[in-house]
Amino acid sequence: MAKLCSCCSMPAQYSLALLLSTVGMSRRIQKCSRVVLFCNDCIHALRENELWGTNALCNAFNRAYTATKQAFNERSSAPVTTR
């Protein structure tokens, strides 16, 4: 079955994933979003700065951000272990 564009449900030709990383930590936290699929027309619209507010992209970003934030909080609250 053909994969469909997240915006217009035409057959997808591109997939986009967001990689979110912390900066300035000794061991960086890095989370990749799920991929969001786009057709040729919609990826062009994205390039023209349209479509960045689409639900699929926002959800992908939110999940990556939430996962990063959660990992950050877990690390912050983890007891210090001596090795």
Of 5, 37, 46, 60, the one binding Zn ion by CB under 5 A: 5
- Part of the chain binding Zn ion (CB under 5 A), chosen from 21-29, 32-40, 52-60, 62-70: 32-40
Which one among 31, 36, 37, 42 touches Zn ion, defined by CB under 5 A?
Answer: 42
Query: Is 4:15 a contact under the CB 8 Å cutoff?
Result: no
Contact status: 57 vs Zn ion (CB under 5 A)? no
Structure tokens, 71: 């990992």
Helix (H) or strand (E) holding 58: helix 55-77
CA R_g for the chain: 17
* Min separation Cβ 9 and Zn ion, Å: 7
39 is a contact residue toward Zn ion (CB under 5 A):
yes
Cα–Cα distance measured from residue 7 to residue 21, given in angstroms and rounded to the nearest whole number: 26
Q: Does 8 bind Zn ion (CB under 5 A)?
A: yes
- Which C-beta is closer to Zn ion: that of 15 or that of 21? 15
Distance from chain centroid for Cα 37: 12
